[in-house]
Amino acid sequence: LNLTRYRSRGFADSLRTDLYRYPAIPPSMAWKDLTPPPAPDALTFTWTADDEVTLDWAPLPAKTGQAAPWRYAVYRVRSSTPPDVATVQQDARNLLAVTGGTSLTDRPGLADEPYYYFVTALSGNSVESEPSPLVSVEGRAVSTEPVTLPVAFVLEPNYPNPFNPSTEIRFTLARSASVTLTVYDALGREVARLVDGQHLAAGPYAVRWDGTDAHGRPVSSGTYFYQLTDGTHRQTRSMVLVK
């Protein structure tokens, strides 16, 4: 068959977009069990080299009579804010791997925005579970080009972490600026604004979060993200509320 004889726009488009380079989840068979597995839990990461991060998560227990072990889909996306996981799953380029293990090593690359990872479980019929909580990883790869980092714009780890009932968040500004400090939940939804566009002078600051949302209601246990921005720079870290 001589493909050059055919003017298939779809074939050309598929080559141009290179979608065949990405992993994919096979479709489910409607006449088989469509029950989704439970969501994976305890997703963590560890830097194992300057440019490598290893993700680990807890294995799901096998069901009675389960013929095949669970598989896991690992997603990665670069974003300035915690992303909407449903939107991430719609883009095939965000599916990093499908694996039968509970660990994966990745090279996220150098970036001025964090990388977010989450994991779903797949049944033997490729039915996908709800996602695990997000984890945020700052790009730390070694660059061949000189990188200019913002001087003294620092968002520090909160203390204590994990915490209950409150925690302190410290940050330092290199210059006076309008600053926003926002807390997001694991699904990327805004929970509270601890600093809302306030103009602050250069220097160190400390803000306490008492584990409540914008309406003063206590939030549930889990992983949360706090993000500091001054209009030019942005940093994000994670924290865990335990009740």
How do residues 182-240 score in pLDDT, each as one tens digit? 999 999 999 999 999 999 888 888 999 999 999 999 999 999 999 999 988 889 999 99
- What is the chain's mean pLDDT, rounded? 81
Which tokens is 94 given? 């965000």
Say yes or no: do domains 22-137 and 154-241 share a fold: yes
Cα separation, 149 vs 137, in Å, equals 17
Q: What pLDDT, on the 0 to 100 scale, is given for residue 4?
A: 43
Cα separation, 71 vs 69, in Å, equals 6
Q: CATH code for 154-241? A: 2.60.40.4070
Q: What pLDDT, on the 0 to 100 scale, is given for residue 30?
A: 64
Domain positions in the chain = 22-137, 154-241
Cα 70 → chain centroid: 22
Tell me which DSSP letter residue 215 carries: T
Cα separation, 46 vs 12, in Å, equals 41
Q: CATH code for 22-137? A: 2.60.40.10
Burial degree of 121 (CB within 10 A; 0-12, 13-18, 19+): buried
The alpha-helical segments, DSSP class H, found in 31-174 are: 85-89
**Total-model pTM:** 0.51
Tell me: the pLDDT tens digits for 91-123? 888 998 888 889 999 888 776 778 999 999 988
Cα separation, 215 vs 217, in Å, equals 6
